[in-house]
Amino acid sequence: MRNRTWLLLFFLGVLASAAWAQIENKPSFPRFNFDAGGGYGIGRGAAGSFAGNSFFGEGGAGVNFSRIFGFNAEYMYYDLTVRPNVALNQGLQTTSGALHAVSLNGIVRPPVRLGRYSAYGIFGVGFYDRRETSSTAAVFQDAPCRPVWVWWDIQCNPKGNVTFTQSLGTLSKVAGGYNFGGGITYDLNRWHKAKVFGEFRYHKAYQSDVETIVMPISVGLRW
């Protein structure tokens, strides 16, 4: 945890230094960038099998180094609640879950524009906290293991049975990961030069039990 804190402080220091340099030099392009949006995400692997497709929201802020290159820090909330039919078939009671992602991203904007339309690419790294909660009190020794229980770290033997009585409750798994994608913006020429954007991203996190892969498709505003 201490190493993560220092890493976050380091990147925040880089962003602050870059922002100060932009202010001092008074560039002809916007010094800062902001975004807010949300939409519908496609789950893959375990996320797709257990939670399916989900809604999400995101927001970020950063610094532009030039008209082409920028940087931002971004937060994403992605619903990862286990689907009711999966919970029913695999021995779970009431469940809830979410993926909390904090990432640092590079933004590339090609200089070519088509009227009010322009494109951009985005890529970055970050930390992903997958948190799942179930009201199921316990799973008992020798009970047949269920695939979705991997999100609660339930230990099973080679025969596919629970090794000892274990509780589900709430489990959080934090891991590093990466994302990449791109989008198209449309200049509104209002609201402080806001731009409507449509974007596709791919996120992958390396949790110790099973990887978490989601592909958010979002719309929103960028400045």
Taking only the tens place, the pLDDT of each residue in 25-52 is: 556 778 999 999 999 999 999 999 999 9
Mean pLDDT on 131-154: 92
Across the chain, mean pLDDT equals 89
Taking the alpha carbons of 140, 143, 148, 150 in that order, is the dihedral positive or negative?
positive
Q: Does 126 or 8 have the greater pLDDT score?
A: 126
Task: Note the pTM of the prediction, 2 decimals.
Answer: 0.85
* Residue 65 to residue 20: CA distance in whole angstroms: 11
| Whether 44 contacts 89, CB under 8 Å | no
pLDDT at 26: 57
Which sequence spans correspond to the domains of the chain?
2-222
Question: What's the CATH fold of domain 2-222?
Answer: Porin (2.40.160)
Residues 6+ apart with CB under 8 A from 10: none
Mean pLDDT on 129-157: 93
pLDDT at 2: 47
Q: What is the pLDDT of residues 75-133, one digit of tens each?
A: 999 999 999 999 999 989 899 999 999 999 999 999 888 999 999 999 999 999 999 99
Task: Say whether pLDDT at 203 is over 50.
Answer: yes
pLDDT at 137: 78
Cross-strand bridge partners of residue 149: none
3-state secondary structure the chain: CHHHHHHHHHHHHHHHHHHHHHHHHCCCCCCEEEEEEEEEEEEECHHHHHCCCEEEEEEEEEEECCCCEEEEEEEEEEECCCCHHHHHHCCCCCEEEEEEEEEEEEEECCCCCECCEEEEEEEEEEEEEEEEEECCCCECCCCECCHHHHHHCCCECCCCEECCCECCCEEEEEEEEEEEEEEEEEECCCCCCCEEEEEEEEEEECCCCCCEEEEEEEEEEEC
**Percentage above 70 pLDDT, the chain:** 88
Lowest mean pLDDT among 1-10, 47-56, 168-177: 1-10
pLDDT at 193: 84
